[in-house]
Amino acid sequence: MHIHIGLSEVTRETISELLGQLLTSEYALYLKTLNFHWNITGHSFISLHQLFEANYEWLKLIIDEIAERIRTMGYTAPGAYRTPDKSIVTAHNHTKNLTVGAMLAELVADHEALIRKIRQVIDDISGMHDYASEDCLIQWLKGHEKNTWMLRSHLLHTPEA
Ligand SMILES: [Fe+2]
C-alpha cells in the first residue's frame, strides 16, 4: 500500500538506511553494557551494576524506537547483526576480564561515538522534512549525552582508570 505522508520514497529509504546503521551500533552497545552489568566487580559493584542496568534498559528502549521508526518509513527493520562491520561500537572481547576503569572508559567512548553518529545523521537528514525522525534523533542524542556524563563521573573516581 502506498505511503503518502509527504516524504518521497527516496527520502524514506535514505532515512531508513541511516537508522538501520544506528540500530546495529546501538544493539552492539546494548549487548556490551548487559555483559558489563554481569561482570562488574569491585567496591563500586552495586552502583555500577545498577547504572549499567539502567543504561541497557534505556538502550533496549531506543533500539525498539529506531526499529519502529524504520517500519514507519515503510521499510523492514534489519536484524541487529545485518552489518556488524558498520558498527561504530568497539568490539567486545567476552573472554577478557576488564577492570572497572577499562569498562567505564569503553562505555564512555562508545556512547561518545554514538553521539557523533547521531549528530551526523541529524545533519544528513536536515532539509528532508522528516521532523519526527529529527525529533527522535535529538531525544536519543540527549540520552546518550546524559549517559556519557554519568559514566564519566564514575570514571573520574575510579583509581584503575
Ligand atoms: Fe541483572
Going from the Cα of 35 to the center of ligand 1, the distance in angstroms, rounded, reads 10
Domain boundaries, the chain: 9-155
**Cα–Cα nearest to 115, from 31, 22, 33:** 22
Distance CA 102, CA 63 (A): 25
Distance CA 23, CA 82 (A): 10
Instruction: Give the pLDDT confidence score for residue 145 in this predicted structure.
Output: 98
Instruction: Give the pLDDT confidence score for residue 87 in this predicted structure.
Output: 60
Cell numbers describing residue 134 = 529529527
Instruction: Name residue, grid cell 521508526.
Output: 69
pLDDT, tens only, 96-120: 778 999 999 999 999 999 999 999 9
Instruction: Give the pLDDT confidence score for residue 75 in this predicted structure.
Output: 96
Instruction: Give the pLDDT confidence score for residue 17 in this predicted structure.
Output: 95
Going from the Cα of 32 to the center of ligand 1, the distance in angstroms, rounded, reads 13
3-state secondary structure of 17: helix
Going from the Cα of 38 to the center of ligand 1, the distance in angstroms, rounded, reads 7
In this structure, which long-range contacts are made by residues 12-15, counting pairs with CB atoms below 8 Å and at least 24 apart in sequence? 12/73, 12/74, 12/75, 13/73, 13/75, 14/125, 14/128, 15/73, 15/125, 15/128, 15/130, 15/133
Going from the Cα of 49 to the center of ligand 1, the distance in angstroms, rounded, reads 8
Going from the Cα of 50 to the center of ligand 1, the distance in angstroms, rounded, reads 8
Distance CA 25, CA 91 (A): 11
Distance CA 18, CA 121 (A): 7
Going from the Cα of 48 to the center of ligand 1, the distance in angstroms, rounded, reads 11
Residues of the chain with pLDDT under 50: 85
Cell numbers describing residue 53 = 542496568
Instruction: Give the pLDDT confidence score for residue 19 in this predicted structure.
Output: 96
CATH T-level topology, domain 9-155: Ferritin (1.20.1260)
Instruction: Give the pLDDT confidence score for residue 108 in this predicted structure.
Output: 96
